[in-house]
């Protein structure tokens, strides 16, 4: 069974061991702005002078919410029974903020500015038997 990323250019390679995988990003060589994923141009200054970077695996919780009803559309997480889902905006040392699922769904356990760590794991098994890897953040 192969491991594949949920989206191309979202996770660094190789995908094993998963504890070494980082979020893939890009940095503008002109203004220094950092982004998640691969972009065609800088969203800050418009330059196309971007370089790939591996983003930090630690950050701080900027803000969060908890969803108590299932997501619609192509959601691949637990549905039956639905488990509340924590969603957070995590600020990385590079300055970018990443919107991501959280490993914690109890608001009493979440606090703005708490240290967070990247978790890469299997979200689901696809129809070809591949482990589809995604990411979330959890308390450090």
User: Higher-confidence residue: 67 or 71?
Assistant: 67
Q: How far apart are CA 91 and CA 119, in angstroms?
A: 15
Report whether pLDDT(129) > 70: yes
Work out the percent of the chain whose per-residue pLDDT is above 90: 85
What integer best gives the mean pLDDT of the chain?
Answer: 94
pLDDT band at 14 (very low <50, low <70, confident <90, very high): very high
Indicate the number of domains in the chain. 1
Mean pLDDT, range 121-138, rounded to an integer:
95
Would you tell me how many other CB atoms lie within 10 Å of the CB of residue 138? 14
CA distances from 67 to 37, 74, 81, 86 (A): 25, 16, 14, 6
Q: Domain range holding 105?
A: 3-139
């Amino acid at each position: 069974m192969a491991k594949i990323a949920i989206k191309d250019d979202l996770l660094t390679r190789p995908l094993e061991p998963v504890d070494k995988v980082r979020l893939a990003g890009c940095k503008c060589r002109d203004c220094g702005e950092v982004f998640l994923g691969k972009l065609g141009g800088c969203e800050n200054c418009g330059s196309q002078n971007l370089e790939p970077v591996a983003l930090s695996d630690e950050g701080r919780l900027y803000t969060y919410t908890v969803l108590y009803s299932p997501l619609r559309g192509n959601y691949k997480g637990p549905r039956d029974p639905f488990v509340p889902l924590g969603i957070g905006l995590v600020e990385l040392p590079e300055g970018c903020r990443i919107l991501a699922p959280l490993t914690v769904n109890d608001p009493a356990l979440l606090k703005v500015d708490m240290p967070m760590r990247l978790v890469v794991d299997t979200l689901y098994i696809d129809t070809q038997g591949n482990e589809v890897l995604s990411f979330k953040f959890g308390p450090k």
